[in-house]
Structure 1
Amino acid sequence: MADLRPDIGGADIDRGQIILVGAFALAVVFVALALVMNAAIYTENLATRSESAETSNAHAFHRATETTATESFRYAHDVHSGDHDALNQSVEDAIEAYHNATRRQQAAHAQLTNVSVASTSPGVNITNTDDTFDADDGTDDWEVASGVRQFHTFRLDIEGWPDSDSEELRVVADDTETWYMNVSFDGSEYTVGVNDSGTYSTCDSSIAADFTVDFAAGTVDGDDCASLDLASESGPYDLRFENGSVANGDFTMLVNGTAGSRVTDDQQTQVLYSMDVDLIYWSSDVRYRSTIRVGPGEIDG
C-alpha cells in the first residue's frame, strides 16, 4: 500500500502524495454516488413493481366480481323469474355472500374490499304468440308497454296479411307526431317505413314473404335500416300497437318499463332489467373504486 506520510526529502514527492490523496478522495466520492444511484434505481423499480402488482390485483378483483355479478343475475332469473322482490333478494344475497368471502380472503393480504348491490331496475318481458298484434280482448289500438326507458329486445315477426286492402300496422312511441314504424302490404310486397318527428323514410328491403322487424338490431328482414332508430328516442315513452288485427304474427320485447293494462298475465314476466354493483379495493398502494353494470344486450331508449 502506498505510504502517505510526508517525506521531507523533496517537493516532487509532496506533489505526488497530494495527487494520490486526491485520487483516493475522488474514488470514494464515485463509489458513494454509485451506491446512491443504485439504491434509488432499486427503490424505484421495487415501487413500480409493487404498484403494478397491486393494480393488476385490483383489475383481477374487478373481473372476478363482474363474473360473479353476471352469474348471480342469471341464476336469480333461472330460479325466481316473475317476482321482482324475489329477484332483488336473490341477487343481494349472492353479492353479500361473495363480499363476505372475498373480504376475509383479501384482508389476509392487507387489502380492504367492499362489494354491494347499489341498485336494480325492474323490467318486464312481454311475449305474444297468438298470431296477431291486437290485444287479447280484441282491441286494435292498445298500449303494450308504458314508461319505457330502454329495451334489451324488441322484435315483430310478420307472418301474413289477410287483406291487402286493409290499413297499415303501426308501432307508436307516445304519439304519431313523435315516432312510429308502419308496415303495409300491397298484395305482392311489404313496405316498412319510419316517421320520426314528421320526417318519413322507408327501409330499402323488398319483402315478399314472412319477415322480422328487429328494433334492437335496427334491421328489417335481416337488412340494416338506418331509420329504424327507436333506440335513439329519449325515454320514458309508451309503446302502442295500432291496427293490430291487420297482420298475422308474433312479437316479443324485454323493456325497462311496465306492461300495458291489456297485456295478460300469461303474456308477461317480471324481470330485473339491470343491476349496478359497487366495488371498492384498497391496499397500501392502490385506491380503486368502480361500478359494474349487469344488463346484457342493453339498448338505450
Structure 2
Amino acid sequence: MADVNPRSDARRARRGSSRDRGQLLLVGALALAVLFVALALLLNTAIYTGNLATRDAGVDAAPAIEYAADSRAAGAEAVRSVNYRNNTTYPELNAAFRGTVGRWDGLATHHRAVAGDLAAAEVAAVTNGTRIEQDDAARNFTSAGESENWTVASGSDLSGVRAMRFAVNASELASGPSDAFHVNVTSGGVTRSLYVYENGGDDTEVRVVDDGTELASRSFDPGADGTLVVDVSNGSVEGTAYPELRTLLDVGAGTEIEYRYGNAAEGTYTMVLDEPESDLSLPGLVDDDSGQPYWTPAIHGATFEVTYRTSELDYEARIEVKPE
C-alpha cells in the first residue's frame, strides 16, 4: 500500500536537499584546493624567475670598491709622507700631496686599463692643519717655557684631532694618579682625560676618564726598553687594543687640549689638528725644531673624487682621506 503520509514526503525532500548541499560543498572545496595549488605554482614560478633575472642582470662592483679602498689607503700614506717631508709651507704641502697622488693614480690607472677598465682618483679638496710634536725623547712634557700645566692648543673652529700618540719613559712617571701626567681634551663642555702613571709595581697604568667618571683603567708592561707607546687615535697601547682611548678624540668645534703635570712624564708625542696655525692658540709651542715642543704646517685630510667605468658599470664616489 502506497505511503500517502505527507510527513514522509517532507522527510524525503529534506534528505535530498541535504545531499545536494553536501555535494555542492564538496565540489566547492575541491575547486578552492585546485585554485590554491595553481596560485602557489604561479608564485613559485615568479620568485624563481625573479631570482634568475637578478643573477643574470647582476654587475660585479667588486673592482670599483677595491679601487676606492686602494685610493683611500694611498691617499692616507701620501698625507703621512708629505707632512714629514714638506712641512715648511701650505703651498709646498699641497703641491707635494697632489703630485704624489697624481703619480699613484697614473700607475693605478695603467694597471686597471690592462683589464679594459677606466679608473681615476682626483684630489677634490685638502684640509690644511697643524702638526704638534715633541721629538726629544729625553725631555719632559712641559711647555716651551717649562710650564707643567699648560694649554697645548685651542681654537673656536678646532674640531678635529688625529694621529695623537705618546711614547713615554715609564721610569720617569709619577707613582700613583694624584700628581700624574694627564691630557685633558675639552669639547662641548665635556672633558675627557688620559692619565699615565706607575701603578706601584713594574707596570704602567693607563686610565681614561670621561667627564669625571672612570671609563677604563688598565696596566701594561713597558717592556725591556722602558718605553710605553700610547696610540690614542689607533686605540691601542703597545699594540694591544684599548678602544676607550678613542673617546678623547670625539670632539666638536671649540676644542681645547691641555697637559697637566707635564713634569711627571718624559718622552715624545705628536698630534695633527684640523686648523692652520693662524686660526689656533698655541701658547706653549715654538715654530721650529729646536728641542722644544713645536708646531709645523700639515695636511689634516683630503677628499677624493673616484671614478671607475667598465662596459657594464659606471661608478662614482667621493671618499674621505684621513689617516689615523
TM-score by length of 1: 0.61
1:191/1:112 CA distance change after superposition, 3 Å: closer
Aligned length: 248
Q: Is the 8 A contact 1:205 1:223 kept in 2?
A: no
Q: Is the 8 A contact 1:218 1:225 kept in 2?
A: yes
Q: Which residue in 2 is equivalent to 1:172?
A: 184
> What code does the residue aligned with 2:261 have?
N
Matched position secondary structure for 1:160: helix
Q: Is the 8 A contact 2:174 2:265 kept in 1?
A: no
In structure 1, which of residues 132, 135, 148 is the aligned counterpart of residue 140 of structure 2?
Answer: 132
In structure 2, which of residues 182, 200, 207 is the aligned counterpart of residue 193 of structure 1?
Answer: 207
Q: Which residue in 2 is equivalent to 1:264?
A: 286
Instruction: Work out the CA distance in 2 between the residues paired with 1:206 and 1:75.
Output: 31
Matched position secondary structure for 1:205: strand
TM-score by length of 2: 0.58
How many angstroms does 1:289 deviate by?
Answer: 0.4
In structure 1, which of residues 205, 215, 219 is the aligned counterpart of residue 232 of structure 2?
Answer: 215
Q: Is the 8 A contact 1:148 1:238 kept in 2?
A: no
Matched position secondary structure for 2:94: helix
Q: Is the 8 A contact 1:150 1:235 kept in 2?
A: no
Instruction: Work out the CA distance in 1 between the residues paired with 2:221 and 2:104.
Output: 51
* Correspondence 1:152 to 2:150: no
Deviations 1:80-115 (A, max 9, x none): 2332221112333555678799999999x9988764
Matched position secondary structure for 2:245: coil
Q: Which residue in 1 is equivalent to 2:92?
A: 86
How many angstroms does 1:187 deviate by?
Answer: 6.0
Instruction: Work out the CA distance in 2 between the residues paired with 1:222 and 1:58.
Output: 32
How many angstroms does 1:207 deviate by?
Answer: 6.0
Deviations 1:164-188 (A, max 9, x none): 5972222101289621122345765
Instruction: Work out the CA distance in 1 between the residues paired with 2:301 and 2:153.
Output: 18
How many angstroms does 1:73 deviate by?
Answer: 4.4
1:284/1:228 CA distance change after superposition, 3 Å: closer
In structure 2, which of residues 205, 224, 247 is the aligned counterpart of residue 230 of structure 1?
Answer: 247
Instruction: Work out the CA distance in 1 between the residues paired with 2:231 and 2:112.
Output: 45
Deviations 1:37-85 (A, max 9, x none): xxxxxxx9xx969x65xx5775676577557646754664465233222
Instruction: Work out the CA distance in 1 between the residues paired with 2:148 and 2:166.
Output: 19
Matched position secondary structure for 1:92: helix
Matched position secondary structure for 1:137: coil
Superposed, 1:1-301 pairs within 5 Å as 58=64, 62=68, 69=75, 73=79, 76-77=82-83, 79-93=85-99, 115-128=121-134, 129=136, 130-146=138-154, 147-161=158-172, 167-174=179-186, 178-185=191-198, 188=201, 190-201=204-215, 203-205=217-219, 210-212=226-228, 213-220=230-237, 224-225=241-242, 227-231=244-248, 233-236=250-253, 237-245=255-263, 247-257=264-274, 260-265=282-287, 266=289, 267-282=294-309, 285-296=312-323, 298=324
How many angstroms does 1:221 deviate by?
Answer: 5.7
Gaps of 5+ in 2: 1-52
RMSD across aligned C-alpha pairs, in angstroms?
Answer: 4.4
Q: Is the 8 A contact 2:234 2:246 kept in 1?
A: no
Instruction: Work out the CA distance in 2 between the residues paired with 1:181 and 1:172.
Output: 7
Instruction: Work out the CA distance in 2 between the residues paired with 1:290 and 1:91.
Output: 20
1:234/1:111 CA distance change after superposition, 3 Å: same
> What code does the residue aligned with 1:141 have?
N
1:171/1:280 CA distance change after superposition, 3 Å: same
Q: Is the 8 A contact 2:129 2:300 kept in 1?
A: yes
Q: Is the 8 A contact 1:121 1:256 kept in 2?
A: no
Q: Is the 8 A contact 1:153 1:215 kept in 2?
A: yes
Gaps of 5+ in 1: 1-43
Q: Is the 8 A contact 1:142 1:242 kept in 2?
A: yes
Q: Is the 8 A contact 1:205 1:220 kept in 2?
A: no
Matched position secondary structure for 1:91: helix
Q: Is the 8 A contact 1:203 1:227 kept in 2?
A: no
> What code does the residue aligned with 2:160 have?
R
Percent of residue pairs bearing the same amino acid type: 19
How many angstroms does 1:157 deviate by?
Answer: 0.7
Instruction: Work out the CA distance in 2 between the residues paired with 1:195 and 1:69.
Output: 33
